[in-house]
Amino acid sequence: MDIKHVASLANLPLTAAEEQTYSPQLDQVLDYVQQLQQTDTAKVGETNQVTGTKNITRSDDVAACPPLVTGFIKVPAIFGDE
Amino acid sequence: MNKSWTDIASLVEGYKTGKLSPTTVVEYYLERIHKLNPELNAYLTVTEDLAKQQAKELEKKLAEIDSFPLFGVPVAFKDLYQTQGIKTTAGSKVLENYIGQYNATAVQRYIDAGAIVLGKLNCDAWAHGSSGENSDFGPTKNPWNTQYVPGGSSSGSAAAVAADLCLVAAGTDTGGSIRCPASFCSVVGLKPTYGRVSRYGIIAMASSLDSIGHITGSVADSARVLAVTAGVDPKDATTSTQPVPDYPASLATSLKGVRIGIPKEYLRLGSTMTEGMDKEVEQLTDAAIDQLQKLGAIVSQVSLPHTPQSLACYYIIQPAEVSSNLARYDGIRYGHDRSAFGPEAKRRIMLGTYTLSAGYYDAYYKTAQKVRTLVVEDFDKAFERVDLIVAPVMPHLPFKIGEKVADPMSLYLEDILTVPVNLAGLPAISLPCGFSQTKLPVGFQLIGPKFSEQKLFAAAQAYELATPFHEQHPSL
């Protein structure tokens, strides 16, 4: 991992000492997670949530809308007489 | 004062008979906190004035005690729970001066149910860790032996319940953060089904994995608390509309006919995964399984073949979501700038940024999401044959403070038995099952299908009633 590049993407100010410490630690984790490449996932779908629910929305209730006049919303005038 | 209660039921009984008042109970806990917290470092903030004021107000409502399921129950919250007007740090220097602007839904539900807020509990910063040592405000000590870690990330939550510094402690579990410290401190830790309890107002770690649960001294208390915190919340669209059952009524004394599976991949994992499981952990888990059998459970072996991949899957998905969630701490809106993140948060932010970056997304994140499907299917198949799954919580005993801080990867590997549950969004409960020869606690977990908390509580209660471990307390 190019640690300077990734730190700049993540907007993390790192000292030179921090770069030296984190770099081998992160490479070790990346080496470990590489093992997923060996799993055959060609025919497997992705799971991005496990709730079993979808499209949870509140009802689109516009009862509080100000009065409409020929499709326009009527609001108090903002220009004075002068 | 002499303590006359051991759980919520006996505390409430004490209030009803007039033997106890909320004020005297609050004083008991505050005294213990003042005496023991300087050593244990379980609390980051003690809300002494609020607790006393709540106690006074409850005393006026004694006639209505039955309409408050947690009347006068002293609770404390992991410092990830936003609390209005009370400092909410997530265990990080980034938020060291941040005052909560509103109550998390879970916090409000505790308060509305009559709970008394004693304060905010230490944790690994942003809930990153399994030892409590990643807190920017110093590690929490294990009440059973203060040279040892209490587990994490809900370190203060488990230590506070074990040391009797509160009756109930709220926590969060993204990859084992409730079950791990509960097992290291010999208390009961519940990780509910994903979406059972609202995440609204609780500082997010990895949003598709975060589960909101609690640590208690007994299974019955755990059931009482979930009855309060569970349920749909319009402010968290991932909460389930499934009705909330009467959890306290589901407790049982027998396991007759309950089918319990032992994943063959979990016990004797082999050297590549965890350097082998600790012998004592394995023996105590075996003894717990024997006990379940004695109580009538039908035990058989099941297979979760993608267990080895699940840890790699977790350490892609979780840091990816962490890097996204922590992007908002930009130094403009909340306290300090990004240089104030501790080493573990920085590591996870960089890991997630890398695996989500252009050119690497498919190889890492997308593959992990596919493997997550395989992990979910493993459990689905297993639950066609059994009602519950039994497993150790942590492969090793609690370790000494400082022993593993230089080697983050070795700590990640310790999560192998807890993270699959989070990937699949399942409920699990960690129960004490004994002590090592060195007097360090060991716990095991029961895992159920989604929304099977009733079954979990019933089995857990039957086990608890037949074993003495929950009655043992650290000498402090």
pLDDT tens per residue, range B429-476: 999 999 999 999 999 999 999 999 999 999 999 999 999 999 999 998
Residue B369 tokens read as 């999401």
Please give the model's pTM, rounded to 2 decimal places: 0.94
Give pLDDT tens digits for B166-178: 999 999 999 999 9
* Distances in whole angstroms, Cα of residue B212 to Cα of each of A73, B232, B447: 43, 13, 16
Instruction: Please report, for chain A, the start and end positions of each structural domain, with discontinuous segments joined by +.
Output: 1-38
If interface means Cβ-Cβ distance under 8 Å, which residues of chain A face chain B? 1, 3, 6-7, 9-14, 18, 21-22, 25-26, 28-30, 32-37, 39, 41, 44-53, 56-58
CA distances (Å), origin B146, targets B399, B401, B440, B471: 11, 9, 11, 20
CA–CA min distance A67, chain B (Å)? 28
From its phi and psi, is residue B138 left (phi > 0), alpha (psi between -120 and 50) or beta? left
Cβ-defined contact of B343 to A22 (cutoff 8 Å): yes
DSSP lists the bridge partners of residue B434 as B442
**Burial status of residue A38 (CB atoms within 10 A of its CB: 0-12, 13-18, 19 or more):** exposed
Residue B444 has what pLDDT? 97
CATH number of B8-248+391-471: 3.90.1300.10
Which chain A residues have a beta carbon less than 8 Å from that of B208?
A: 48-50
Average pLDDT for B26-49: 98
Write down the ipTM of this complex: 0.91
Task: Report the 10 Å Cβ neighbour count for B31.
Answer: 11
Residue A75 has pLDDT above 90, yes or no: no
Phi, psi of B334 (to 5 degrees): -130, 105
Query: Is B128 within 8 Å of B205 (Cβ atoms)?
Result: yes
Residues 146-205, chain B, touching A (beta carbon < 8 A): 194-195
pLDDT category at B384 given cuts 50, 70, 90 is very high
Give the active site residue among B177, B218, B323, B430. B177
Give the pairing of strands B43-46 and B116-121: antiparallel
Of B237, B357, B366, the CB nearest to A9: B357
Is B254 in the active site?
A: no
Q: Is B424 part of the contact surface with chain A (CB cutoff 8 Å)?
A: yes
- Distance (Å, rounded) from C-alpha B131 to C-alpha B134? 7
Mean pLDDT, all residues of chain B = 95
Question: Would you say B355 and B313 are in contact if contact means Cβ atoms under 8 Å apart?
Answer: no
